A and B are shown apart, each in its own frame.
Chain A
């Protein structure tokens, strides 16, 4: 089955700087890659997703890039703000199969 590795497990950045979280996946047939944000004590929420026919997708300060050849995808957050502090999960899925989640990255924004 699919295996997703996520790095780093923790990340601290100064407010206003950029943050990058990276994930690798094992199954070349995977074609859907969402990112979820989970604030403390709350439910995971989808923040952005990308499909394998697209190399990059942006939504305001958030962007995701996908390298199918290398089988990795990354989340980029620019101009970080205190409210960006949370745990971020990447995930991947093959067609007709469930999502496999990464182990999560705890992002802390330092004021």
Chain B
């Protein structure tokens, strides 16, 4: 168990809908990252937060948004969903940013858009 908690584990929804994925980082970790992994693909970096503030942005679509709350949990919001958004979404956390802290991944949320 990595200590990173993601909910829900599975999500099935229709095109055009909006969903929210939730992540609780490991105790003591201040940095949260979101990754998208489509079938048999690599880890696509979406966005990173550190202590409540956006730190880095990857190839995140405008339909997607995220935030990190004062208690350090994070939410990834996906709207106007398309079939191509079906993927495994991972959250990861680390102690700090920039001190080569290992990333610890959650078990992911599998999103299926029908």
Contacts and interface: CB of A to CB of B under 8 A. Distances in A.
Interface of A: 31-32, 34, 36, 42-46, 49, 51, 89, 93, 95-104
B101 to A, nearest CB: 9
The interface size bin for chain B is: 20 to 34
Nearest to B47: A98
A98 B107 contact: no
Interface in B14-43: 33, 42-43
B77 interface: no
B45 interface: yes
B68 interface: no
Nearest to A32: B100
Contacts, number: 51
Given A43-B90, A43-B105, A43-B108, A96 B42 contact: no
B65 interface: no
Contacts of A46: 102-104
Nearest to A33: B100
